[in-house]
Amino acid sequence: MYITSKIKPLVLALVLLLGMLAAPAAPQAAGCAWIYAGVGKPLNNTTSNNPTGGNTELCRKAFLLSFNQTTGVADWVMERLSASALSGDADRSFSHFKSDPDLAGGPALSDYRGSGYDRGHLAPAADMKWDQRAMDQSFYLSNIAPQVGAGFNRGIWARLEAKIRGWTRTKGDIIVITGPVYYDYRPVIGGRVVVPDAYFKIIYAPADGRALAFLMPNRRITAPALTPHQVTIDALEVLTGYDFFNTLPVTLEDRLESETGPLWP
């Protein structure tokens, strides 16, 4: 059909407008406000060992993350778990590792291929049994980090994740923050993904007003005990440069972050 020169610009503008409306928008952190309600998102306000630069916050169906474009790994991933979320029909065999569709220039499968490291989940797939889409999103590489396999990702780290699910079943509402820690030695895989020296997990039970924190080196660990890896949240704030639980009442925040209480039953 012939289109006059006066109509052509209008047609082009309409096509561009329709394209913008059809394009999926990157999920914004505000959509995950239910996860950090009452405790706040981690805030980067100090100098630390962790490289900084180009962070992008992405809201997923079951977790919120802050992806670091410099390291190719999320600085932190935040979940709010409930007992009901740990059961369901979601099947990890239907999920596949893939680049994050909302993260331009993010990690690719080729970055991990042949590296010798596991593609370790930061927000565990086993936390997502309640919903297949949440399970699928946990396999986006923005939620993945290079981890030593035997003795760590498939060992003590998996044991800690299972413990957290057990605590969730008894306490009902658990907030978990997971992330990497970097020291001096920083191998790189795929030319752009920095291998963390260690990983941390912070677990907070609002009903009890208690928190636990762990720091584990990214290496084979043969001893099964978790308590040797307990640290204070204050110590993790120094290592990571993040301020955790920054909207809690100051007295409660100070107590939680200075304690290393016994493991929960």
Catalytic center residues: 121
Which parts of 109-171 are beta strand (E)?
A: 118-121, 144-147
97 and 109 Cβ atoms separated by less than 8 Å: yes
- Cβ burial of 235 (10 Å; 0-12, 13-18, 19+) is middle
d(CA 83, CA 93): 22
Picking from 180, 154, 152, 148, the residue whose alpha carbon sits closest to that of residue 73 is: 180
d(CA 12, CA 19): 11
241 and 44 Cβ atoms separated by less than 8 Å: yes
Backbone dihedral angles phi then psi of residue 34, each to the nearest 5 degrees: -65, -25
Read off the amino acid at residue 5.
S
Q: What is the DSSP string of 25-39?
A: PPPPGGGGHHHHTTT
For the chain, what is the total number of helices (H) and then of strands (E)?
7, 12
71 and 180 Cβ atoms separated by less than 8 Å: yes
